Each structure stands twice: as structure tokens, then as C-alpha cells.
Structure 1
Amino acid sequence: MEKTGSNTGFAIYHNFVIHATAKEVFDAVSLPEHLNNWWPLQSSGIPAVGNRYNFNFTDTYNWFGHVSTCEPSTSFFIKMTESDADWSPTTFGFELEEMDGGVSVKFSHTNWPQCNTEFKQSSYCWAILLNGLKNYVEKGIVIPFEDRE
């Protein structure tokens, strides 16, 4: 957990390597048909700046965001617009850098309003989910939605 330098809230950071191409990782974090295999139950959206994404986890958790950054095979960020009070001011995303044998992934989820239970649980869940992303891209493993954190 880290307070962001701009004094706009708290932030979650996870850095790791995925043994794949930058395009494969970018597709897995930006295309709904791949997102549905490691994060939400259902999602929709097209990876281009300004486009709206829907992340449906349940009827109660049916959230929306807009693409704030989209550079194919390099970076992809979503600014949440409709979600719960803790998530709505946040932006999450991925910076990708190809290296020998894989892709360096720098994940961030910034602008959390407070270091509360939701923030701490989300930090934990992101770590589990990002491991699922890694296993999905590298090994094709899809964890059933009901077994995801």
C-alpha cells in the first residue's frame, strides 16, 4: 500500500513477469473475451481511449469505466465511472515492456480515497487475480468465476 505522490489517494502496485509476448498480455488485459477468463464474470468494451467498458461480477456489482490510456502492446488503463464509492474515483491499468523471455507487467490501481477494508481487500484480490492472469496467458488456465477472489 502506498499513498500516491500527488496526494490524491492511496495506490496498489504489483510488478511481475509474464512469459509471453506484449501483444498476448495486452489482449488478455484489454479484450473482453480474455478478461472474462481471469477477472469478471462478463465484460464488454473496445480498447480505445474514451470507450466505455462494463465489468459485470454479479447483478449487485455491475460496474463501468472508460479507457483513459490505450497504447497497443504497451499500456492500458481504465478510469472507473460507475461502481461502489471506493472504486469510483480510481484508475487501474497495466504498463507492459517486452524483455528477454517475457513481458514486465507493472500494474497499478490508484486514487483510492482511503486505506479502508475495501482498499486492503482489493489489494489482496488483485494479487490473486494477477496470478490468475499470469497462469491464463502462460498456461491457458481458466479459473471458474466462482473460485476467483
Structure 2
Amino acid sequence: MPDILHAFYIQAPLETVFQAVSQAPGLDKWWTQSCRGTPGPEEEYEFFFTPEYIWKGSIRIYNPPHHIEFLMTDAQEDWMHTIVSLQLRSVNNGTEIEFAHRDWKEANKHFRVSSYCWATYLRVLKLYLEKGAETPYELWDLV
């Protein structure tokens, strides 16, 4: 099964980065337009992107401040039962992130578009945590 993989560094403390990738207010700064959920094992999150795209995922792995993993439980067909994982490691006064979106059924067009979108979202996360830049959701594709 194909996987989307990204690795990058953020000049921000490990705990700050983990909050941004695990708590609803943090996720709203870089991934979702609005998110609901409480971090913890087997907790469910609702990810609101647009009225047509309201998806759900449950936390599969929760190991603060190093690892969070979501199993997508309600989404577009290609995303169903895929796993979104962020592993964090403190490095040189910042945080190294190993991002993965695993278990796609095939490397189709949606897979390739999602890989591009993830790169954009992760750049928004980096800009937010390093520079305090809060980019409006509708402009994220311009970053």
C-alpha cells in the first residue's frame, strides 16, 4: 500500500509542536477550518474543512509529546481507514517531524493531490509555529 511521507524541522519546542498537532485549537491553525476532539487514546475527532468535507478520525496512538496517530473513520473513500501519523523528536532546540499518511489503497490522482496538500498544510504549520503567521484557511493553498 502506498504511503505519503514528509520529514522536516520546526524551530519550536517539542511540547509546543505536539499541542499544535494534537489539540483542536492547534489543528485549526494549520489543517482544519474547525476541529472538535480531546486528545487521548481512542478519542474521536471531527475535522471540518468545508460543509461538503466533514471527516472523522479516532486516535490510534497517543504518546505525548512524541507521537499521535489518527485512523480516518469517516472521509472520502480513498481516505477511509488510512492512518495519519506525526512522530516528533527534540533536535537542536527544535523539533523534527516524521509525517506519514499510510495505507492508501492505490497511488491514484487523489493520493498525489493529497501529498501536495499535506506539504502545503505542513508548511502552514511550520510558518505558524516559527513565525506566528496565522494564514486564513482559504489562503493556505497560496503559501
Runs of 4+ in 1 over 4 A off after TM superposition: none
1:76-115 map, 5 Å: 76-115=68-107
Whole-Å Cα distance in 2 between the matches of residues 63 and 10 of structure 1?
A: 21
Alignment of 1:141 with 2:141, yes or no, is no
Higher helix share: 2
* 1:32 aligned partner, one-letter code: A
Q: Runs of 5+ in structure 1 lacking a partner?
A: 1-8
The alpha carbon displacement at 1:101 in A equals: 2.4
* Residue 16 of structure 2 corresponds to residue 11 of structure 1: no
Amino acid at match of 2:119: A
- CA deviation string 1:106-137 (max 9, x = no partner): 00000011111110000011011101101111
Which of these residues, 46, 51, 58, is aligned with residue 43 of structure 2?
51
In 2, the alpha carbon distance for the partners of 1:148 and 1:134 equals: 12
Give TM-score, length-normalised by structure 2: 0.96
1:30 aligned residue (14, 18, 22): 22
- Structure 2: unaligned runs, 5 residues or longer: none
Normalised TM-score (structure 1): 0.92
Contact 1:112 1:119 in 2 (8 A): yes
Q: Distance in 2 between matches of 1:68 and 1:27?
A: 17
Q: Does residue 126 of structure 1 match 2:118?
A: yes
Tell me if the contact between 1:86 and 1:113 (Cα under 8 Å) persists in the aligned partners. Answer: yes
Q: May I ask how many residue pairs the two structures share in their alignment?
A: 141
State percent identity of aligned pairs: 35
